[in-house]
Amino acid sequence: MEIALLLVNGESLVVVEVKSTLRVDDVRDLLDDLKTFPRFFPEYQGYRLFGAVATLNFNESSERYAYRQGLFVLTMDRQGLITLRNDKAFRPLDFITSEYIEIISPETPVKNQHTGL
């Protein structure tokens, strides 16, 4: 297993595969790595596990396949900024629980548990 980048935040992890050009086989390899990740990294037991691909170039089929598998898709725009390609309908997959997660964005109103607002 080879991991290009491992991001840890609280109780969540993101394993990022970085390629200059992303192909469907690269996405499949990452999915295999995510399945075996807990065995190789037992110190992260109890964490949520997400995946992402980062690339300079991709074909439409590799981007679409990664998205449909619940992976974050990152690329660089013309100004040199990293761009998240996933749309607002995207739900990342927690590869530990096999559940798709609801993302709460800053624009999403959140109800107060005490007042119901």
Would residue 43 count as lying in a domain? yes
- pTM, two decimals, is 0.85
Number of independent structural domains in the chain: 1
Would residue 80 count as lying in a domain? yes
CA 114 to centroid of chain Cα atoms: 32
Would residue 31 count as lying in a domain? yes
> Can you read off the two tokens belonging to residue 48?
């949520």
Would residue 111 count as lying in a domain? no
Would residue 77 count as lying in a domain? yes
Would residue 115 count as lying in a domain? no
Condensed to tens digits (0 to 9), the pLDDT of residues 41-55 reads: 999 999 999 999 999
Condensed to tens digits (0 to 9), the pLDDT of residues 81-99 reads: 889 999 999 999 999 999 9
Find the domain containing 43 and state its range. Answer: 5-100
Would residue 112 count as lying in a domain? no
Per the listing, tokens 């992890």 go with 13
